[in-house]
Chain A
């Protein structure tokens, strides 16, 4: 986990030495026996394998909901995941709680005790590490269908993923950017990548022995209203990092911002470029298992149930029109708190309706706007990736690290102090997202001109500058049932 981290496969001996330290972080680490774990994984049915599920969905032309779920106790978890299974949700997310994420396992223990005594819910997720392989396997074995997939944290991923995979989880949110860029204040990008390499290498170890665990690549989740360019570029960078460590199955995640043409363009362009860059850099044997779309959770959902259903149904619509295999769905309780089982169930009932009705029609949308957005997005993503590879001398890890320092990749509103925070995004008159400030993003002049025109049009329409005020207005728009944040007239 050195700061001089490179995109280079960790040597197996070295990896095994690192493992010892990782497993020693908490007693449940001892439950992990890699050989036994690999056998366990091999015996899992296809219906619990992330990659196989994705491939089947693709063949059948279906879209399913990708939930956000995680609850503190094993009993509640079993009940919750069975409900999800009933709701035909085959991807079973295990969101861990915030103590686990900070390696505060003692606090977790206390909270579990307290909940047992008083019934009061304290933890905001599943304490995977405290429950250990034994606990997690009970959950994996409690359903017939569904690939489990943990959400952990920079600090807790190494041990967490050991326990996860040994428990039969077959997918994982695997990119370093999400933790570093959206959950951390002081962490260093080099350290973050280094920390994630451990998990990637662990997956590589499984892969070398015939077990394919799939990596969701969320990229740098960009906070607030801004184009997903940097996000999509980093999902591809992440796939390249994972591939180098031996990962054989990745997912292209696309974060959506609400303009149909732009969202569909991103859905089309992202997996295509991911394939191209993987192939070009020697990772042609890495499978892109499927695509996962979601309205990036970086603005608040409507609090009212009507608006919440509309927004989440809209996510389902865009996912289905984009023909993605899975669509990450925010429950109707998103703005209110961790959803109840009933809220989960109602949410999937609703989005499944959309998935079925839209996909069944086999709609091929053709709009000239999609083609325009696709071209712009492709130019942008290529410009950024190529620049990163250039400054990294062909090494994507080095490129990303330098890129952060130089603001070649940048985001507004990031909690991480390392981030330049020189870019600003706003919506254009049709609700597509444009840069009002480019910071140091290496975008081609033609592309910048395109953004400038669209932003100028918006400024004229609103009669205000495209600035921080506007980005905040736009940030709240969907929450208020509007496409664009309207200026408040005095």
Chain B
């Protein structure tokens, strides 16, 4: 029990992001309808972005603006990279939703299996 208790005390916020990542993966594995698959992959993407943001995290680090001494600054590099990653995530989700609307209006269903059957005829 002691090892388990030690293990849990070690868990930090970034492990929470890893949990969210695999919940998204679980969602992508089990969801029947297309819109929920898009949502769960969106969750995976957001979890990966949160995990990246938490790197080089120290307690009490201040925002990287002039005036704070360089050692106390929070790491600006992940923040800048994640602005790019978030915008990419937004564009891809927008593309998926556009395709989702097209699929629903054309085949009349949002379920993966019914869609595959309707594709054949």
A pairs with B:
no
